[in-house]
Amino acid sequence: MAVGKTEFPNIPLIDGVRIGFAEAGIKKQNRKDVVLFEVCEGASVAGVFTQNAFCAAPVELCREHMAKSSSRYLLINTGNANAGTGVKGMQDARSCCDSVARLVGVDPSSVLPFSTGVIGESLPIDKLLSSLPVAVESLSLGTWFDAGEGIMTTDTRPKGAYRSCEFDGQAFHLAGISKGAGMIRPNMATMLGFIATDVSVDQDVLQSLLKEIANKSFNRITIDSDTSTNDSCMLIATGKAGNSKLTDLNSDFAQYFVSQLTSIMQELAHAIVKDGEGATKFVSIDVVNAESMKDATEIAFEVAHSPLVKTALFASDPNWGRILAVVGRANVESLDVHKVGISINGIEIVREGARSPSYSEELGQSAMAPENIEIRIDLGLGNFSDTVWTTDLSHEYVTINAEYRT
């Protein structure tokens, strides 16, 4: 089940990036489960990673390699997270990087590993290593669609987005894929996300920019409040567009580029929510007129994580008292319950902390029926606002996760 199912867009390759893939049979036979990105020399590569203390071996090794040298190859496998695997997990991650490095003639520190899938099981290293020559040989053949398929786990569809842009005669492009359908409350970015552009961007600027926009996109989605051990989001800037390298973001061109990058990252983040495990609703929770950004974010996530609110959303039941109770229990010291207003898809539910005089159960049910729902919570306290995107909670979510390993 998925919300607003759309076809994978036609995404041309970004100049300076090649994609390869292979079928290693890590968890299932006859499916793409290994993806290899090749990045041109001189490109900038930025990354943000999970803040889960039990981060996977590939996450640790990614950080180590990025601190040592420039990144040339990104290797992703699905079907096994290589997390909770101790010393052997790190040895296996290193073996993968060493193998790619030998095949393509680079230093192992130029190879970044990524894994997603079941936690706590050893990587089937022989299967993975034997697939790598095929992945390298296919570097001239692979597409963004191949990559999108090759990183899926419980996803029902590959997720991709593309932008072709021009500003004051300067053309540039952005493309990306993401994966994730469960264990989603990213505490940095998402389960896995890979975005590339041909714009030339300074390495430090790119890293700062990725962190900032991740907080406006992938860090504002939640399906089940669980932060993965493997969350990683990478941003590649090849420099092939021919622009003067962006060393700051003060120019008009830089600001336009940032707006397009924000747009594509939010689209990829929304695609994860719409493909949430068992999801039937795509829900925007807007908290406005808060005294601080922290308060707005806190309340938005509290509502998004409430099982009672999420099950009411699944049933299209306008049980607005559940939302009101969550707002009250959130850790907002300045909250004045007599100023709170709540609306659902433009229907006023709560005014000044109580049922709106214009509200009726029929109006509430009509507001909750669509698959796209906006819950707006007005705190009446200040000028800060924030938005979190989430899903409902259905029977199918329980089934998928109860049977995940079987």
- Name the residues annotated as catalytic: 190
CA 391 and chain centroid, separation:
14
CA distance 91 to 95: 6
Q: Measuring CA to CA, which residue among 84, 154, 179 is closest to residue 123?
A: 84
Q: Look at strands 192-197 and 232-237 and give their pairing.
A: parallel
Q: How many CA atoms lie within 13 A of 365 on its CB side?
A: 3
Q: Measuring CA to CA, which residue among 345, 400, 145, 161 is closest to residue 269?
A: 161
CA distance 345 to 363: 10
Q: Cα 272–76–195 angle (5° rounding)?
A: 50
For residue 386, give Cα distances in angstroms to 287, 304, 324, 371: 6, 13, 18, 21
Residue pair 55/90 in contact (Cβ under 8 Å)? The answer is no
For residue 324, give Cα distances in angstroms to 353, 362, 376: 8, 19, 12
Q: Measuring CA to CA, which residue among 123, 100, 119 is closest to residue 35?
A: 100
The number of residues making up the chain comes to 406
Q: What are phi and psi of 83, to 5 degrees?
A: -125, 145
CA distance 386 to 292: 10
Element (H, E) at 305: helix 293-305
Centre a 10 Å sphere on the Cβ of residue 319 and count the other Cβ atoms it contains.
16
DSSP letters spanning 85-154? -HHHHHHHHHHHHHHHHHHHTS-GGGEEEEEEEESSS---HHHHHHHHHHHHHTTTT--HHHHHHHT-SS
Residue pair 77/33 in contact (Cβ under 8 Å)? The answer is yes
